Structure 1
Amino acid sequence: MEPVVLDLPFRGRWRAEMSPARRVPSHGTTLFGMSHAIDFVAVDPRGRSARRGWRSLVATEPPERFVGFGAELLAPAAGEVLLVHDGEPDHEARRSPFALVPYALTQASRVREGHHALAGNHVVLGVGDDVVVLAHLRQGSVRVRVGQTVGDGQVLGECGNSGNSTEPHLHLQVSDTTEWGRAQGVPLAFRLADGIRVPQEGEVVSGPD
């Protein structure tokens, strides 16, 4: 299957995580059409998503500390807004093992709640025959409405820490339907400076200025 080619949906420096360039399914599951999903974490010039301190070692951290929190997210292609979900809270970030372990133990319950519990605040675009999901948006930041036609690069909302998220980041996937119970993942690729491809795990890519 040919990949859906997208533009990077952000400005500045972001590190690719959970990349399908490393493995498929990239997030360890094919549920909810996530087989080829990719995560992006905004980083500073030193490659850090946030400075570390005592809280990053032993406790949770406020999402406002992170580079990506509140960063504008852009439409990676022109399309129609099919779904919008906003209103989920941005919870504390968890980089400490002491905070991550209890959170991991509640993962199964979020899966049982369904797609919205995992995606948090999100926007879904119809692009051709496929749907593009941008998830974990900041509460109250969504700037588009269902039925609206958006242009490539138009601001959709802001990066947040809602849903199944341990630190502010963007989860992006392409699927074949919004009926999440039967959705299948679709391969994706991005227009990068050196060609059309999927960023490697841990690779830092830069969106338009």
Structure 2
Amino acid sequence: MAAGAPPPGQAGREVVLALPFTGLWLARNSPARRVPSHGTDLMGERYAIDFVGVDERGRSAGDRDWRTVLATEPPERYFGFGRAILAPADGVVVAAHDGEPDHAGRRSQLALVPYMLGQAGRLRQGMRAIAGNHVVIELRESGTYAALVHLRAGSLRVAAGTPVTAGQQLAECGNSGNSTQPHVHLQVMDSADLSVARGVPMTFRHFRERPRGAAAFSIRQTGMPGEGAVIAPLPTA
């Protein structure tokens, strides 16, 4: 089997999830743009997607000063930092890790240079340095595993063995691990072990989407948000 291919029984079958938040978020590194979505099949990332909390104007942060251009910024400046992260489906938590620090945010291209130079060192440090604070859920219906990554330090509300239902708060959006600004990274995998997992295709249900460059939202009953789209879940009955 080719590296990163869907595991047996998953080929051609997408796992359907609820979006793991409320409010407005920007889709980044979407598998609607390319697969592998993050440029690698490692760590189950083949079909992963990132969501960045934004305001009505699609901005990830409001305040701008000299730090925005030349340096790092406190994570609290970003709209997504501290927003509730929810379970995307029913299941049982099989792994939960907390205790990794939230980093400063980096909108500055100058500040991104030393960060990128440190990428190899983070890889050597292992999974905690990459994923940061995270939760892995065994999904009840599909038997696959969903990972929610880069969570806020000290915000986890669940532990291994905790049963969860779709929409239940797991933690808060943070900037831990391999992250340059607060966001949540979501992926579905064939294993709970991020170091060996292979990615599984997924799709989302019941959301509104404003594609990049569009003025209005459209309703999508199921689908994968496009790259650069602003999205929000539809209210549930």
TM-score for both structures, normalised by structure 1: 0.97
Structure 1 residue ranges without an equivalent (≥5) = none
> What is the CA–CA distance in structure 2 between the aligned matches of 1:207 and 1:114, rounded to whole Å?
34
Instruction: Tell me the alpha carbon deviations over residues 74-96 of structure 1, each in whole angstroms, 9 at most, x when there is no partner.
Output: 00000000000001110101110
Matches for 1:114-129 after TM superposition, within 5 Å: 114-127=126-139, 128-129=142-143
Which residue, out of 129, 132, 152, partners 1:138? 152
Change (3 A) 1:157 1:208: farther
Worse overlay, 40-49 or 175-184: 175-184
> What is the CA–CA distance in structure 2 between the aligned matches of 1:173 and 1:83, rounded to whole Å?
14
> What is the CA–CA distance in structure 2 between the aligned matches of 1:9 and 1:178, rounded to whole Å?
19
2:222 equivalent to 1:196: yes
Give the superposition deviation at 1:162.
0.3
> What is the CA–CA distance in structure 1 between the aligned matches of 2:160 and 2:220, rounded to whole Å?
35
8 Å Cα contact 2:100-2:128 kept in structure 1:
no
Number of the residue aligned with 1:71: 83
Structure 2 residue ranges without an equivalent (≥5) = 1-10, 208-218
The code of the aligned residue for 2:201 comes to P
Number of the residue aligned with 2:72: 60
2:84 equivalent to 1:84: no
Q: How many residues align?
A: 209
8 Å Cα contact 2:138-2:192 kept in structure 1:
no
The code of the aligned residue for 2:168 comes to Q
The code of the aligned residue for 2:74 comes to P
The code of the aligned residue for 2:226 comes to Q
8 Å Cα contact 2:95-2:135 kept in structure 1:
yes
Q: Percent identity?
A: 57
8 Å Cα contact 2:74-2:104 kept in structure 1:
yes
> What is the CA–CA distance in structure 2 between the aligned matches of 1:113 and 1:183, rounded to whole Å?
18
2:196 equivalent to 1:182: yes
2:47 equivalent to 1:36: yes
Give the superposition deviation at 1:145.
1.3
The code of the aligned residue for 1:203 comes to A
Q: What's the Cα RMSD here?
A: 1.1
> What is the CA–CA distance in structure 2 between the aligned matches of 1:77 and 1:100, rounded to whole Å?
34
The code of the aligned residue for 2:31 comes to P
- Off by >6 Å, runs of 4+ in structure 1: none
Change (3 A) 1:36 1:27: same
8 Å Cα contact 1:26-1:37 kept in structure 2:
yes
Number of the residue aligned with 1:50: 61
8 Å Cα contact 1:12-1:208 kept in structure 2:
no
8 Å Cα contact 1:33-1:185 kept in structure 2:
yes
Give the superposition deviation at 1:208.
4.8
Number of the residue aligned with 2:25: 14
